Amino acid sequence: MASKSCPKCDGRMVPGYLLGYTDHHSRRVTEWLEGEPERGIFGMLKVRGHKRLPVETYRCERCGYLESYAPAP
C-alpha cells in the first residue's frame, strides 16, 4: 500500500480498521452493505441478500481525520 496523505492537513494517513460487535458481543471488522437498511420483524437489520464488503479505514496522525473505503474484491 502506497503512503497516503490527509486531504485536510496533508499529514500522514495510517491504516487501521473500525471495530464492530455482533449481538453476541463478538468482535468483527465493520462492513459496507449495498442498498437501503431494512429492518426485520424484531427490529434487527436484514443483511441476507445484500452485497457486503469489509471497510478499510485510514487515520491522519496529525489531525485525526478518518477516511474509509470498501474496495472491490
pLDDT per residue as tens digits for the range 20-71 = 777 777 888 888 888 888 888 888 888 888 898 999 999 999 999 999 999 8
73: Cα within 13 Å, side-chain hemisphere: 6
d(CA 1, CA 48): 32
Counted domains in the chain: 1
Domain with 15, as residue range(s), is 4-69
- Residue 2 has a pLDDT of 60
**Looking at the whole model, is its pTM more than 0.75?**
no
User: 66: burial class by Cβ within 10 Å (0-12, 13-18, 19+)?
Assistant: exposed
47: Cα within 13 Å, side-chain hemisphere: 7
